[in-house]
Structure 1
Amino acid sequence: MGNKTVYMKVELNQINYKGDDRELITKDAYDSIKIESSFGQWPSAVGWDAIMIYIVIPFVASGIASGFLNELGSDLYRWSKSKLQKITSDKEDFDETKFFIEMNDCTINIYCYDKEDLQYVTENFEKIMKDAVKQKRESDENIDIDVRDLK
């Protein structure tokens, strides 16, 4: 999967993050993910430290192989440990942080509320995605996941 078939965009709230944070997000290369970052601005109700993570997987949900999810999950975990945890270490206000995972046939939205939720999703990405793919097979709907229901 070394051809970077997955695209990830990390959008940081420009009120509380700096250019150095944005650069750190994209600093190293990963085998399975092409990563970009940008600044966004949201109302304070979203959380001053909110992060929106968009992941585009160019496959249908039922066509995702277990090995692919394993490699993607591994890269996402390493990225979180070396990048995401650094820029969020002094942050506390993540009221409506989200992962948006777009596939050819559905969107999976994962709602997070603090940095521990972000860490949980990146540490358990493969399992969360396998469960979501199974759920997608049973329904034609997009999938909304509240991370608090997973813990």
Structure 2
Amino acid sequence: MNGRNNPRAVAAAEAAVQKLAGPSRKSSVIGSKQKCTGVFIGGTSFVRGRMGAVGSLTCCDALRCTKCDFRVEQFHNRDWSDDVDYLFFRNNFPTEAKLAAKMRARPGSVAYCCQCSWMSTVEESKLDFSSDVRWVCAGHLTE
């Protein structure tokens, strides 16, 4: 039986065409992800969400590391101890209870970390390719 007359082959070919065509326009608009226009981090005094409007500072709450490909966790009113190192995060990320061993209470600060990088901040800071960390906006779901 050749491939043209085989119902399984025809069904597989149709499924492949649908997969290559991708989602319909309607489904991509509903539940699409929009990324921040500029990626900022900051302390607890700054609004969290998607940075979209020019002139308003919003700290991204959907960060992802392009180096280790993990999400970036944020801990409010905390900062990292001076003795944290790469292996601490490799062994303890993303378990908050384990990470808490090297966090200190600091009002207004936010402790950020992924599996390979970490930082604490009170002030706003723009992240770009010249930054020490490789964090980007992973996208925010929209309706």
Structure whose residues are more often helix by fraction = 1
Structure with greater contact order relative to length (CA < 8 Å, sep ≥ 6): 2
Higher Cα radius of gyration: 2
Task: Report the TM range for the smaller structure's normalisation.
Answer: under 0.3
More strand by share: 2
